[in-house]
Chain A
Amino acid sequence: MIVSASKLRRIISLDNESKAANDGQLIAEARSDPAAFVQLYRRHYDAIFRYCVHRLFERHIAEDITAEVFLKVVENLHRFKGSKQQFRNWLYKIATNAANDHLRKTARRDGLLKGARQQIGSQIADCRETSEKLAFLREAMFSLKPRYQTIITLRFFENLKLTEIAEVLASNPGTVRSQLARALTKLRKILATDFTV
């Protein structure tokens, strides 16, 4: 059976919602019960890992950042007082900060840009369309401000609503909407295309 991407996303999103519904109790228990913590971890690991891949474009870095996220969760879970929905957003917030820190501290951004350019060269030669698109996207994304990168990733890869992105970024939905518009305009310019590369 072939499931369209949008339908798949919706299924994942619904699945996430039902998972989130059970998180409230689990979060409370996870503070003192390792078994509950493991359940919580397993429930959110995949989403956070994917988000990190989409932000950083490299699996092994994404794994490191994912580990960092959950270490911070272990350290700070007892301080978390929000709702189940806020818990997911809290994870994204930690992951966003960790990804930004990674890019900033390791001055990786320049290296990645360079790497991306080289990759484009070799991949164009390979004429693999999707790889080319990925490399283009990576270069374009890394040239954006970290905040714009976060907004684009959360919106288009993690399918978060503007209100949810606003919560992750401690902002308001109106601001996020205008920043999203600016980010897309900038991306369009960088890619020098109408996104139909």
Chain B
Amino acid sequence: MKNNEKQFEDFVRGIKFDDTPGPSHRNKLEQDLLGILAKQSQRQKIWRMILKTKIAKIAIAAVIIIAVVIGLHLHTGSVRLTTLAFAKMIEAMKEKPWMHIVMESVRGKAEERFEVWISFESQVYASKRSSGQIKYGDGQRHRFYAYEPDTETITISSIFDDEITKGATSVWNFGETWLRQLAKLSTEFTKEIGQYNGRDAKVYMSKMSRNERTYEAMLIMDTERNLPVFGHQKSFDSNGNLIKEKDLYFEYLEEGPASVYDVGVPKDAKVVYLACPSHELADVAAEHDKRRRQLGDFRGVTIFTGGQGQATLTIFEYLASENQRRHGISVGLGNYQSKSLDELVESLVSAGCLPLLAATSKGFPGVVVFPCYEIPLEPTMADYIRDYGVGEWKIVTNDAPELSNQIGCQLKSYSADAVSLHTWWVDPEHDYWVSQFTYELLEPHANLEDGAILKSQCQVVEFGKTGGGCSYPRRIAMRSSGEKDIEEYYGIYLEKITDAKDTDIVFLSKALGALLQFE
């Protein structure tokens, strides 16, 4: 056999193939693919958000500030200094009537410009992308405007809760919490005194590595005013090649945009479908929101089994308390993936990977800037009402035994190129958790054969109870049409954040024991 292989290898070596790729085909295909991607992005944005792990949205200001201070974040071994410097900067920013940030990024040949205006005083934020997309949130009037240049349409939805009002505070609270986590880590930083535009400035620089990438960041802060004036970030791959570069310019203005038109929306843009949720539905969502806040802050472990049999263990933080203000944030602390559940269990337990996992997860807190592992189902309804609430909302009922005492909140949504139906079944007996969510794209889906309709469903198979008696979804199954296998959150284990340490082997052992029913 080996001889056969060797001889065949020699035989093959003597053959000359015309297999050099042709640049013209490669380039043409690249352009074709980019065109298809552009068309898909709108649709995928919606359905990806619903189906799988959801990236929670933090108010845009937090994203930008946190992006800047990613370089600043680890800039000291001293927690006190970090917190103090950051707090002073935040206070100075909040005193300004308007903050204007321009972010210019370059990735390869692709350039993007992103502008944001924020006023804490009038509770307004607005943003404009180089693609022409514009958003304007008016916290006082509870109105959210989104302009899509492709359709030249402004959609207006209601800001359902007082997220913007609170957001101005919670954004910073979140930033501070995050920074405290970061401060636990140690890394090199430098602080230099210099000048920026003729004024005294402090220049913070840091470097960090994560997932085979290296990040370098610089933030220049005006010494006298304690305000950031310029930021610069670079990311490199493992070979040291520059991947992305960003410049951030900060301005502090007396006046800002008074309406969505001031940000650049044409006056003749169509305005479509202002459809506020009914009062009854608003009450359901408010109760749902309230119960989530009561849940508290937890550290959790979940095992997710995919359609191909693969299994992933994830450690996360679920921060729901009033203290955190912004409910429903879950932060990924670490994960461990395996080809099958059996292999996962075997490698974690038999092969002694548990201590390793515990040790490796130590490096994660704070590195995850964006909350990334969301318990599915949870805050999507409120977010949808707030951000995508354009469409027809109604309360629906279903006589099926498993749904008869649940409240169905349904949205028929009209996006630029698709009509879809979203239904959240809220279960009052389980602390108003959404027990089932279905999504239907009401037109044939490209990924499915014979013009079939995409329908996906996410269902809580089993509820658990926290020590405090609150319900939480313990097992969740997700299924999409066209996919044979069910994807399942095999189990979610929560322990109060004050009791559990993610690096604690006892905590991990207990979690695995509870999830997999072994000692």
Contacts and interface: CB of A to CB of B under 8 A. Distances in A.
A84 B272 CA distance: 43
Interface of A: 5, 18, 21-22, 24-25, 31-39, 41-42, 45-46, 49-50, 53-54, 59, 62-63, 66-67, 70-71, 74-76, 78-79, 81-83, 129-131, 133-134, 137, 152, 156-157, 180-181, 184-185, 187-188, 194-197
B306 A81 contact: yes
Decide if the interface of chain A is mainly helix, strand, loop or mixed.
helix
Interface of B: 1, 4-5, 7-19, 21-22, 25-26, 29-30, 32-34, 36-38, 40-41, 44-45, 48, 52, 107-110, 211-213, 237-239, 306, 308, 310, 337, 446-447, 483
Contact of B15 (A63, A134, A185): A134
Contacts of A195: 4, 7-8, 10-11
Nearest to A73: B33
A59 B19 CA distance: 7
B452 to A, nearest CB: 14
A24 to B, nearest CB: 7
B33 A71 contact: yes
B15 A196 contact: no
Contact of A22 (B12, B109, B237): B237
Given A25-B211, A37-B37, A134-B17, A185 B4 contact: yes
Contact of A184 (B8, B10, B109): B8
B11 A74 contact: no
A74 B37 contact: yes
Contacts of B211: 24-25
B108 A35 contact: yes
A74 B36 contact: yes
A54 B110 contact: no
Contact of A35 (B10, B44, B110): B110
Sorted nearest first, the 4 A-B pairs with minimum C-beta distance are A195-B11, A35-B110, A195-B7, A53-B19
A196 B18 CA distance: 21
A34 B110 contact: yes
A41 B30 contact: yes
A42 B446 contact: no
Given A22-B238, A50-B21, A37 B107 contact: no
B199 to A, nearest CB: 35
Given A75-B447, A184-B4, A70 B110 contact: no
A50 B19 contact: yes
A66 B22 CA distance: 12
Contact of B29 (A70, A130, A197): A70
Contact of B17 (A21, A38, A54, A74): A54
Contact of B48 (A31, A35, A131, A194): A31
30 contacts: A21-B212, A22-B238, A25-B211, A25-B212, A25-B213, A31-B48, A32-B41, A34-B37, A35-B109, A37-B34, A41-B30, A41-B33, A46-B21, A50-B19, A53-B19, A54-B17, A63-B22, A75-B447, A78-B48, A81-B306, A130-B14, A152-B8, A157-B12, A181-B4, A184-B1, A185-B4, A195-B4, A195-B8, A195-B11, A197-B11
- Of residues B4, B213, B446, B447, which shows the largest number of chain A Cβ atoms within 10 Å of its Cβ? B4
Contacts of A36: 107
Given A25-B212, A35-B109, A46-B21, 17 more contacts: A31-B44, A32-B45, A34-B34, A35-B107, A35-B110, A42-B30, A53-B18, A59-B18, A71-B33, A71-B36, A74-B33, A82-B308, A137-B11, A137-B12, A152-B8, A187-B8, A195-B7
A54 B19 contact: yes
Contacts of B12: 137, 156-157
B239 A18 contact: yes
Contacts of A54: 17, 19
Given A37-B33, A49-B19, A54-B19, A63 B25 contact: yes
A53 B308 CA distance: 29
A54 B17 CA distance: 8
B272 to A, nearest CB: 25
Given A18-B239, A66-B29, A81-B310, A156 B17 contact: no
Contacts of A82: 308, 310
B4 A188 contact: yes
B8 A156 contact: yes
B446 A75 contact: yes
A38 B30 contact: yes
Given A38-B30, A45-B26, A196-B10, A184 B310 contact: no
Contacts of A187: 8
Q: Which of A5, A31, A81, A129 is most buried by chain B, counting CB atoms within 10 A of its CB?
A: A81
